[in-house]
Chain A
Amino acid sequence: MVMKIEIVGLCKISIHETSQDDIFFSAQVFEAGTSRASNSSMGPCGRPHTEVESGQREPKATASVEFVQFTDGTTWGDSELAENILRLRHLAYHEVKLLAQISNTGGSQAFLDELPKPTDLIPIDSMQQLYKEKGDIGPVNRSDPRRV
């Protein structure tokens, strides 16, 4: 899901942010009729000290859902805004498949040699953290790539 967020009058600068949230690798599907909370922090961005600095604007915050992909692959909204997050998902998916392949052909040690390599991919980072926390390859191996 991609959201656009605009905040004016609360900081010295206005905030125009695009929030991207991919639950493809999560165990939980965002089902119909349910709610979930989303919290994020931005800044520090400096508070306006005078009305002139803030452009005499009333504090205002707007957010809009711009793109959603359903679990059957169909989408709603502006797919151009989702190009980056879908590319990252594609890369993560292939990395997970590569790790599985290495584990199958080279065994546990080969898997452990490959796993800690630096990555910006959140699902792989989650697997690295899981291994660090548990100190055991079992939970990592048992984790379905869609459940990382």
Chain B
Amino acid sequence: MKIQILVIFAVLVSVVSYGSANVTRVTVNDTSRKDSPVRLIGEVVATEDESVLLSNSLTTNRHKHIAKRHPACGDENRDCGALQDQYPRD
């Protein structure tokens, strides 16, 4: 009985190690402009079924957020710091 259990365990280990040996992970390099309001951290995984999974974490910068902006802040590249902090967000 003990021998049978050991054999099953050995098969499971071999399947797991085969699977992990064929998965490729690559860290995503964020090539956004330096003044981008969003930063990316992510990885790409090539899987057994030959598909590619992209997993990203998106983080907004403090003063360049995708939320309500103070009218005086204007648009894109202007960082209005403390003025924006006083403005109510959605």
Q: Interface on A for B, CB 8 Å cutoff?
A: 1, 3, 5, 7, 9-11, 15, 29-47, 59-66, 68-72, 74-77
| Chain B residues, Cβ within 8 Å of A41 | 51-54
Instruction: Give the size of the chain B interface in residues (CB under 8 angstroms).
Output: 47
Contact residues of B between 58 and 75, Cβ < 8 Å to A? 58-69, 71, 73-75
Cβ-Cβ contact count across A and B, 8 Å cutoff: 170
Query: Are A70 and B56 within 8 A (Cβ)?
Result: no
Query: Are B90 and A29 within 8 A (Cβ)?
Result: yes
For the complex formed, measure the closest distance between the CB of A76 and the CB atoms of chain B, giving whole angstroms. 4
Query: Are A44 and B51 within 8 A (Cβ)?
Result: yes
Considering the chains assembled together, what is the distance between the CA atoms of A39 and B43 in angstroms?
10
| Chain A residues, Cβ within 8 Å of B65 | 30-33, 70
Asked if A35 meets B62 with Cβ closer than 8 Å, knowing A29-B90, A61-B26, the reply is no
